[in-house]
Amino acid sequence: KETGEKILEASANDLAKIIVEIVESENTMRT
């Protein structure tokens, strides 16, 4: 279970980073 939780946390962090990059890219394109 520990490894599974770590993987879930890592994927969640990766998703957060990807979302931030997408939002930033959208903001740069809008301006």
- pLDDT at 29 (0 to 100): 83
Domain interval for residue 2: 1-31
Residue-wise DSSP of 10-29: HHHHHHHHHHHHHHHHHHHH
* pTM of the entire predicted model: 0.58
**Residue-wise pLDDT tens digits, 1-31:** 688 898 889 999 999 999 999 999 999 887 7
Per-residue confidence (pLDDT) for residue 12, from 0 to 100: 92
* Predicted local distance difference test score (pLDDT) of residue 30: 74
Go through the chain and tell me how many residues it has: 31
How many of the other CB atoms lie within 10 Å of CB of 29? 7
In the chain, the number of structural domains is: 1
Within 10 A of 20 (CB to CB), how many other CB atoms are there?
10
Q: What is the pLDDT of residue 17?
A: 97
